[in-house]
Amino acid sequence: MPLRWYGPADPNNATYRHFNRVVNFCLHAGGFAAVNSGLWFVQEMRHPWSHLDLWSEAWLGVLIVHLLVVIRLRPGKDEDTTDES
């Protein structure tokens, strides 16, 4: 089932902002998977690249930091998600 936001796009809504961060993280993770799998496939087929493991590990590190930011900034259970200000 695709991710979908039901309701008005209100940047003041904490739940909407969190949903936006989650979607951005999913796009980042998908790009990581697609690009890295393609690069490793090409390397295994014919073109050795000596620094591909370092590249993949560095990008994975950035992806993990992105995940930690998404988790850290998630709204709390007691936070009012319908800010009217």
pLDDT at 21: 95
Q: What is the pLDDT of residues 50-65, one digit of tens each?
A: 899 999 999 999 999 9
pLDDT at 85: 46
Per-residue 3-state assignment (H helix, E strand, C coil) for the chain: CCCCCCCCCCCCCHHHHHHHHHHHHHHHHHHHHHHHHHHHHHHHHCCCCCCHHHHHHHHHHHHHHHHHHHHHCCCCCCCCCCCCC
Q: What is the pLDDT of residues 29-39, one digit of tens each?
A: 999 999 999 99
Average pLDDT over residues 8-20: 88
Average pLDDT, the chain: 88
